[in-house]
């Protein structure tokens, strides 16, 4: 949880363009992991 909060803080401190790029990458990574967890 602490790692997630620090990652969230790092993303928040970036400018809008970088934030949008990293947010999209972060979402795709989460989606990939969720798909892997599906039976």
Query: What token pair was written down for 18?
Result: 């970088």
Listed residue (8, 13, 9) closest to 30, CA to CA:
8
pLDDT at 4: 76
More confident residue, 15 or 36: 36
Greatest pairwise CA separation for the chain in angstroms: 38
pLDDT tens profile 8-30? 777 677 655 666 676 778 888 88
Place of tokens 């363009």: 17
């Amino acid at each position: 949880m602490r790692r997630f909060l620090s990652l969230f803080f790092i993303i928040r401190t970036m400018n809008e363009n970088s934030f949008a790029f990293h947010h999209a990458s972060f979402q795709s990574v989460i989606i990939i992991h969720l798909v892997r967890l599906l039976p």
